[in-house]
Structure 1
Amino acid sequence: MAQFGFENDLQSILKLDAPITNVPTARWQRKSSSPDAPASDGLSPRKSVTASRESSMRQTGNTDDATILRIGGKPVNAPEGYQNNLKVLYSQSVTPASVRKTRYISSTPDRILDAPELRNDFYLNLLDWSSRNVLAVALHNSVYLWNASQGDIILLMKLEREEDYVSSLSWTKEGSYLAIGTSDCNVQLWDVENQKRLRSMAGHTARVGSLSWNEHVLSSGSRSGHIQHHDVRVAEHHICTLTSHSQEVCGLQWSPDGRYLASGGNDNLVYVWPRVQQGSVSNARQSVCSWSEHQGAVKALAWCPWQPNILASGGGTSDRHIRTWNVNSKSCLTSFDTQSQISSLVFVPNYKELVSAHGYAHNNVVIWKYPSLTKVAELNGHKDRVLSLTLNPDKSTIATMAGDETIRLWKSFELDPTKKRGLAISASSLIHQSIR
């Protein structure tokens, strides 16, 4: 009998439909019975609802039908005249991940082109990208064209003598014609569409290592230190000769507005020349300004497309500095030591950045924010010094040429930053193609 009595007592204790005695008073009951309890408002606990729900559970004795939490339905409106006294002390709008934009710069090139017999000469300019998306490359005594849109490669020309070599390249603005400087002191002009040489212009006494176009005027720089202007429309093409450099002219760039020609030489000097005016050839022989701050050869020259009066120059191994100049005030704006030989510079308008190509000792490419010259990214992969770089027509990709006989294409400046990154392309899975 004692056993049955114990079971009845246990069942009585476990019953949920009967009030539990001899337990501490619930917290909500203590607060409601307190004389200074605050009045109920929209931010207080729902005491009345809780009490009525518990009372309902006691009356029915059915816990299965009791609604503990109801999801759905319309929210209860706040009482009339209700005011929220809470104040926002700090807030920050969060941009959804789908809208947030971050720029990704791949550490591996988009494509690699093999360039056998590439001449590893710091002072030459053997790479140029046309406005029609055709990349011109000089390999020893030949010039090859790679159509970046279609992937086709053609041999444009080859010098007759094996000992001669191509020393410079430059496209016209329209991309229809290509100027070619050679080691035998000549400048050739080619019609690319018809693969036909239009003329060969003599006049230099040493190899032609640099070229630059300004409409119908072609400027050529020689190892002799001389710069010649050619009017390619007429038979008597020679306009005038500039003779201020004492050593090889390895850098030559016309400004985007056609007002100035910048020249850099192995004599560590930078000159800025005025545009050749009709009937005033004598004035063209006088430089607008010159700078001697560099302590090494100046091959790298670049004009800022959104500030036509700003010129950037880079020095060789003994200098290693990027310097920017204001042609109007004739002053140096910035001077920055890159700790590496500078072979080429180009401004990229898509992100207002400056890109530099380097030889000893880093053999890499660096993207800088302009004008602060804070480093954005480094592009590594070349096994020898980077000799030249050039920008494609839509300003999204640069091509770099190095002494390791490769040309690498870096798609670092696309304007759509929301493009999926995907996984980084491994070097073994890159698209390899021979330029010839």
Structure 2
Amino acid sequence: MYSSPFSYSTKGGFSRALASPNKAQSPLRSNRISPYSKDRFVSPAKSPSRSPLREGTNSIVDTSANKRQSTPTTPKNRRAPIAEDNILDAPDVQKSLPVKLIDFNKNGDLAIALGTSIYIWSQGQVTELMNGGTQFDAVSWCDEGLIISGNGNIELWDVRQQVAFFAFQNHERRCSAISASGSMAATGGADGITRITDTRSGDFQELKLHSKCGEISSLAWSYDGRYLAAGANHVVGVFKSKQPQLYEASGKVQSLSWTQGDILYAADYDQGNVQMIRATMNSVLNQVDTGSPISGLCYTDSWGLVTASAVTGDWSIYTPRELKLISDYHGHSDGIINITACEERNLVATIGLDETLRIWTLKEPRGPLNSPSVVRRPPSPFGNFGIR
């Protein structure tokens, strides 16, 4: 059972927790009618595409007996994974950062926010969940369903029934930072407020990161739900109680990711600096300047720390302890907006300014350990026609 470090109080006038789907009045107009054709997503076409390996240590696995207490290690003689991507059209992609347009759950289902619609990609099939009549800013899976946000309105949806059954307290103008741990959902908005809501009881609590932090641009619960990390302008905060431990950043922190222990990775958009923070020690263990603004990152035990460039359209894998570059992967013709990973299915998804969504399958490289692990695009029987 989840044990929260916070004490909650129910605010007056809010009593819609787990309301009947027939009673939930959606501010997002959930009529599930799309103005677009069913071909909005083009059928996926495999197109292996990755860059030659750079020098460096290869892929990682944390082999310690107790992952919650250990710092990630990098086994020797591991190489960067092969990545094959399925390419799907992504028109009307929201380009006003920060946003959280894609999110994987543990089953490998990908939630996608495009324009005024929410889609679910599952095992190669795409279905529309709803059309809300407003521009969506964020999607995030939780145990109870899928959280969606548009224009500051936030709802929890039952994906199978395609109905909204819980409404959160609104944020002013925009809520682009969402993270869930069990039934506890954290939301952050342009109003600078971080709000933690119990989706079962409806109780919530408001937290303040810093008086001058501005918009909350990223949130991430630790794996065990003991810590909540929040990113904003030039600051990272880790909540263990109502008062956060603050860490200075060189720009707006738009991406956060935890290991299965107490290690937090935080990346800023402006300078592309990645910090490695140990929450239990309140200390920065390591940091690296990637040389490119970072729009997203995610940690996996199997492959390492995955980062996305907001400028070049590349994503990269780093060793989790030394923060050494393993390899870059090319695909998008413009910057990446968001990146997410599903370690259970060896999947990485990226959505870019080039209006494409790419779902990458990671595989162990073939051949001897000392052979180069480079994927070459196979010749196409259709000549040089592009695939969209």
* TM-score normalised by L of structure 2: 0.73
Counterpart amino acid of 2:234? N
1:363 Cα deviation after fit: 2.6
Matched positions, count: 306
How far apart, in 1, do the equivalents of 2:379 and 2:350 lie? 16
Q: Quick check: 1:211 aligned with 2:178?
A: yes
How far apart, in 1, do the equivalents of 2:227 and 2:335 lie? 30
1:379 Cα deviation after fit: 0.6
1:418 Cα deviation after fit: 6.0
Q: Any conservation in 1 of the 2:350–2:358 contact (CA below 8 Å)?
A: yes
1:241 Cα deviation after fit: 3.6
How far apart, in 2, do the equivalents of 1:188 and 1:143 lie? 12
Structure having the larger proportion of residues in strand: 2
Deviations 1:163-185 (A, max 9, x none): x211111101x4x50001111x2
1:282-297 counterparts in 2 under 5 A?
284-287=241-244, 289-292=245-248, 294-297=249-252
Q: Quick check: 1:386 aligned with 2:336?
A: yes
Distance 1:407 1:429, change over 3 A: farther
How far apart, in 2, do the equivalents of 1:196 and 1:295 lie? 41
Counterpart amino acid of 2:140? S
Question: What is aligned with 2:50?
Answer: none
1:225-244 counterparts in 2 under 5 A?
225-234=192-201, 236-242=202-208, 244=210
- Which structure is larger by alpha-carbon Rg, 1 or 2? 1
Question: What is aligned with 2:127?
Answer: 154
Q: Quick check: 1:259 aligned with 2:226?
A: yes
Question: What is aligned with 1:181?
Answer: 149
Deviations 1:68-103 (A, max 9, x none): xxxxxxxxxxxxxxxxxxxxxxxxxxxxxxxxx974
How far apart, in 1, do the equivalents of 2:387 and 2:141 lie? 23
1:343 Cα deviation after fit: 1.1
How far apart, in 1, do the equivalents of 2:214 and 2:286 lie? 26
Instruction: Indicate which of 340, 353, 357 corresponds to 1:407.
Output: 357
1:232 Cα deviation after fit: 1.1
User: Identical aligned pairs, as a percentage?
Assistant: 27
Deviations 1:402-422 (A, max 9, x none): 11111112223x357569x89
Structure with more contact order per residue of length (Cα contacts < 8 Å, sep ≥ 6): 2
Distance 1:259 1:396, change over 3 A: same
Distance 1:255 1:426, change over 3 A: same
Q: Secondary structure in 2 aligned to 1:394?
A: helix
Counterpart amino acid of 1:249? I
* TM-score normalised by L of structure 1: 0.65
Counterpart amino acid of 1:145? I
Q: Secondary structure in 2 aligned to 1:270?
A: strand
How far apart, in 1, do the equivalents of 2:379 and 2:148 lie? 33
How far apart, in 2, do the equivalents of 1:124 and 1:330 lie? 28
Distance 1:301 1:146, change over 3 A: same
| Unaligned ranges ≥5, structure 2 | 1-76
Counterpart amino acid of 1:239? Q
Q: Quick check: 1:324 aligned with 2:253?
A: no
Question: What is aligned with 1:112?
Answer: 87
| Unaligned ranges ≥5, structure 1 | 1-100, 275-283
Structure having the larger proportion of residues in helix: 1
Q: Quick check: 1:313 aligned with 2:266?
A: yes
Distance 1:324 1:102, change over 3 A: closer
